[in-house]
Structures are given as C-alpha cells and as structure tokens.
Structure 1
Amino acid sequence: MSSALSTLCLHCGMCCDGTLFTQVPLKPGEAEALRRRGLPLGTREDGAGVLPQRCAALEGLCCTVYEERPEACRRYRCQLFTALAEGEVSLEEAKGVVDAAHARVDAVAAALGSAGDGRGSAMRQARVAAAGLELPSGTREALAHAEVYLDRHFRGRFRRSG
C-alpha cells in the first residue's frame, strides 16, 4: 500500500472500529487463526464465524493482526480509499472527509450522551435505538446525517455526480 493510502487508513479506522460495520465474515481457517490470537469471535445463524466490530485487534487505529487479517478485511476498500488511489482526491482532501465523518459520528455520540464510549459503539447504540424509536431529541437527525455521509464516502452506496 502506498504511503498516502496507509496514512489515510491510519487516520480513519472506521471500517474496524464498528462505525461502518458490525461484523466481518470469516472463512473457517481464518476463525481458527484469530481464536489462537485470542480474539473474541461470534457465530452467525448458519454457523459461519464472524469477527465482531469494534475489532479486538484494533489498537488505536492500527491493526495488530494486519498480516493475518481476514480475507474480507484484505479485500475491503472504501470509496474514499479508492478515490485517493485513483487520484480523484488528495491526501489532505481525504483526511478532511475523514475528519468530517468523525465529527458527524461524534455528534451522534454527544446527542446520546455516550461520547466516551467510542464512535462505533455510539453508532451501534443509535441504530438500535432508532430501530426501537427510542432516540433522544436531535439524535435521529444527527444519525441520519452521519449515515448518509458514511454511505457516500465510505460504504459506496451513493455515486458522485460529474
């Protein structure tokens, strides 16, 4: 990975901290290797292993099992990573997008009163509360703004125009 791409990933971490995803699917051999490393794993209804997010291998914004990370982690490229790799945005622009995403997610955490629990935890808590319609005032709007922004720049559910 180029230096700029590594810098972006180490500035972001949202694919591993629970902000974007709740779990990573594992192949059978991957589950065993991660168990040996002491990582807590889950199981889907079909019996397949999953790595819950926030990933227990994440220290700060650095993966401690990077060389042995699951295939799904190896394959994942967010929209912003791809835009940087293709020269559509500069590293500074990409870092600005990450900072704006972090601010939106932090706004969700603040609205929930869970700012110290971590970004991924705040997003998970807000999504569960939204499903049960139990969101404090202002939280639904903050969550909606954060989700649209994450979809557009990280999950790739919206395409840029032009």
Structure 2
Amino acid sequence: MSSALSTLCLHCGMCCDGTLFTQVPLRPPEAEALRQRGLSLAVKEDGTAVLPQRCAALEGLCCTVYEERPEACRRYRCQLFNALAEGEVSLEEAKGVVDTAHAKVDAVVGGVGSAEGGRGPAMRQARVAAASLTLAPETRESLAHAEVYLDQHFRGRFRRSG
C-alpha cells in the first residue's frame, strides 16, 4: 500500500470503528485465529462467527492484527480509498472528506450521548433510536446527513436524502 493510502487509512478508521459497518464476516479458520489472539467474536444464529465492530483489534486507528486480518478486511476498499488510488483526489482532499465525515458523525454522537463511547457505537445507537422513532428530530436530521455522506464517499451507495 502506498504511503498516501496508508496515511488516509490511519487518518480515518471508520471501516473498523463501527461507523460504517456493524460486523465483519469470518471464515472458520479466521475465527479460530482471532480467538487465539484473544479477540471476542460474536456468533450469528446460523452459527457463523463475525467480528463485531468497533473491532477489538483496533488501537487508536491502527489494526493490531493487520498481517493476519480477515479476508473481508483485506478486500474492503472504500470509495475514497479508490479515488485516491486512481488519482481522482489528492491526499489533502481525501483527508478533508474524512474530516467532514468525522464532523458529521460527531454531530450525531453529540445528539445521542453514547454511553459506549466512540463514533461507531454512537452511530449504532442513533440508527436503533431512529428506527424506534425515539431520536430527537435534529439528531435524526444529523444522522440522515451523515449516512448520505458516508454512503457517497465510503460505502459506495447512493441514497436520496429527504
């Protein structure tokens, strides 16, 4: 991975902190290797193991199991990573997008007051509260704006707002 791409990932961390995803699917050998490293895994109803997000291997914005990370983690490339890799944006532009995303997510975090702490857990709480209609209207609006921004720049999905 190039220096610019590594710098971007270490500036962001949203694919691992629970902001973008709630879990990472694991193959049985991956699950066993992560268990041996002492990481807590969850098991879905069908018996498959998943790595819950915020990832237990994340320290700050660094992956402590990077060389042995699961295949799903190895394959994932956010839209912004791809744009930087293709020269469509500069590193500074990409970091600006990340900073804007963090600010949008932080606006949601402020409205949720996550007891768990961190952007990812707060986003999860906000999504649950929004689904149950217990989220304050201004926080619901902040969540909608954050989700659209995350979809456009990171997940690669496009939603209509409104």
Structure-2-length-normalised TM-score: 0.95
Q: Which residue of 2 aligns with 1:64?
A: 64
Q: Which residue of 1 aligns with 2:4?
A: 4
Query: Residue by residue, what CA displacement relative to the aligned partner does 1:12-58 show, whole Å, maximum 9, x if unpaired?
Result: 00000000000000000000000000000011121111000000000
SS at match of 1:51: strand
Q: Which residue of 2 aligns with 1:19?
A: 19
Aligned partners of 2:114 and 2:32: how far apart in 1?
A: 34
RMSD: 1.4
Task: Look up the match of 1:37.
Answer: 37
1:128 equivalent in alignment to 2:123: no
Deviations 1:109-152 (A, max 9, x none): 11123398110011000001011110024110000000000000
For 1:39 and 1:97, how far apart are their aligned partners in 2? Answer: 31
Q: Is the 8 A contact 1:106 1:115 kept in 2?
A: no
Q: Secondary structure at the match of 1:138?
A: helix
Q: Following TM superposition, where does structure 1 have runs of at least 4 consecutive aligned residues deviating by more than 2 angstroms? A: 113-116
- Greater alpha carbon shift after TM alignment, 107-116 vs 137-146: 107-116
Distance apart, 1:156 and its partner CA: 0.1
- Name structure 2 gaps, 5 residues minimum: none
**Unaligned segments of structure 1, at least 5 residues:** none
Distance in 2 (CA, whole Å) between partners of 1:158 and 1:137 is 23
SS of 2:125 mapped into structure 1? helix
Q: AA paired with 1:114?
A: S
Separation in 2 of the partners of 1:137 and 1:70? Answer: 38
TM-score by length of 1: 0.95
